[in-house]
Amino acid sequence: MFGLEALDLARIQFAFTVSFHILFPAITIGLASYLAVLEGLWLRTHHQVYRDLYHFWSKIFAVNFGMGVVSGLVMAYQFGTNWSRFSDFAGAVTGPLLTYEVLTAFFLEAGFLGVMLFGWNRVGRGLHFFATVMVALGTLVSTFWILASNSWMQTPQGHEIIDGRVVPVDWLAVIFNPSFPYRLMHMATAAFVATAFFVGASAAWHLLRGRDNPAVRKMLSMAMWMALIVAPVQAVIGDFHGLNTLKHQPVKIAAIEGHWENVPGEPTPLILFGIPDMKAETTRFKVEIPALGSLILTHSLDKQVPAMKEFPAADRPNSTIVFWSFRVMVGLGLLMIFVGLWSLWLRKRGTLYSSRPFLYLTLWMGPSGLVAILAGWFTTEIGRQPWVVYGLMRTSEGVSNHSYAQLGFTLVAFVVVYFALFGTGLGYMMRLVRKGPQTGEGDEPNPGGPGQKRTPARPLSAADDGHEADTASLSKGN
Partner 1 sequence: MGIDLPLIWAVIIIFGVMMYVVMDGFDLGIGMLFPFVKGERDRDVMMNTVAPVWDGNETWLVLGGAGLFGAFPMAYSVVLEALYLPLILMLIGLIFRGVAFEFRFKAKDDKRHIWDKAFIWGSLIATFFQGVALGAFIEGFKVVDRHYAGGTLDWLTPFSLFSGLGLIVAYTLLGCTWLIMKTEGPLQLQMHDLARPLALVLLVVIGIVSLWTPLAYPQIADRWFSMPNLIWFMPVPILVLVTFYGLLKAVARNANYTPFLLTLVLVFLGYSGLGISVWPNIIPPSISIWDAAAPPQSQGFMLVGTLFILPFILGYTFWSYYVFRGKVTHEDGYH
- Residues 421-440 contacting partner 1, CB under 8 A: 421, 424-425, 428
Cβ closest to partner 1, residue 233 vs residue 413? 413
- Specify the residue, 242 or 425, whose C-beta has the smaller distance to partner 1: 425
Residue numbers 79-118 binding partner 1 by CB under 8 A: 79-81, 84-85, 87-88, 90-104, 106-107, 109-111
State the Rg of the chain over Cα: 24
Residue 19 CB, shortest distance to partner 1, in Å, is 16
Q: Which residue number, 91 or 232, has a Cβ lying nearer to partner 1?
A: 91
d(CA 360, CA 333) in angstroms, rounded, equals 18
Distances (CA, A) of 11 to 72, 126, 157, 178, 243: 17, 47, 25, 25, 27
Residue closer to partner 1 by CB (options 235, 426) is 426
At its nearest, how many Å lie between partner 1 and the CB of residue 18? 14
* Touching partner 1, residues 112-171 (CB under 8 A): 162, 167-169, 171
- 94 Cβ neighbours under 8 A, 6+ residues apart: 79, 87, 149, 152, 153
State yes or no: residue 77 binds partner 1 (CB under 8 A): yes
Please tell me what DSSP assigns to residue 1: -
Residues 394-423 that bind partner 1 (CB under 8 A): 400-403, 406, 410, 413-414, 417, 421
Site for partner 1 in 35-74 (CB under 8 A): 66, 69-74
Backbone torsion region of residue 150, taken as left when φ is above 0, otherwise alpha when ψ lies between -120 and 50, otherwise beta: alpha
Check residue 195 for interaction with partner 1 (CB under 8 A).
no
Number of residues that bind partner 1 (CB under 8 A): 71
Beta strands in 259-311 (DSSP E): 270-277, 282-289
Nearer to partner 1, 34 or 428 (CB): 428
Q: Which of residues 361-400 bind partner 1 (CB under 8 A)?
A: 400
Each residue of 269-308: b (16+ CB within 10 Å) or e?
bbbeebebeeeeebbeeeebeebbbbbbbbeeeeebbbbb
Q: What are phi and psi of 388, to 5 degrees?
A: -95, -45
Q: Which is nearer to partner 1, 146 or 370 (CB)?
A: 146
Site for partner 1 in 294-333 (CB under 8 A): none
Helix 6-45 and helix 48-82, axial crossing angle in degrees, nearest 10: 160
Judged by CB under 8 A, the residue of 299, 303, 451, 476 near partner 1 is 451
Question: What is the distance between the alpha carbons of residues 204 and 285, in angstroms, rounded to a whole number?
Answer: 39
Q: CB–CB of 275/337 below 8 Å?
A: no
Q: Which of 209, 247, 356, 467 binds partner 1 (CB under 8 A)?
A: 467
Stretch that binds partner 1, among 257-265, 284-292, 387-395, 448-456 (CB under 8 A): 448-456
Helix (H) / strand (E) element for 161: namely strand 159-162
Question: Does 272 sit near partner 1 (CB under 8 A)?
Answer: no
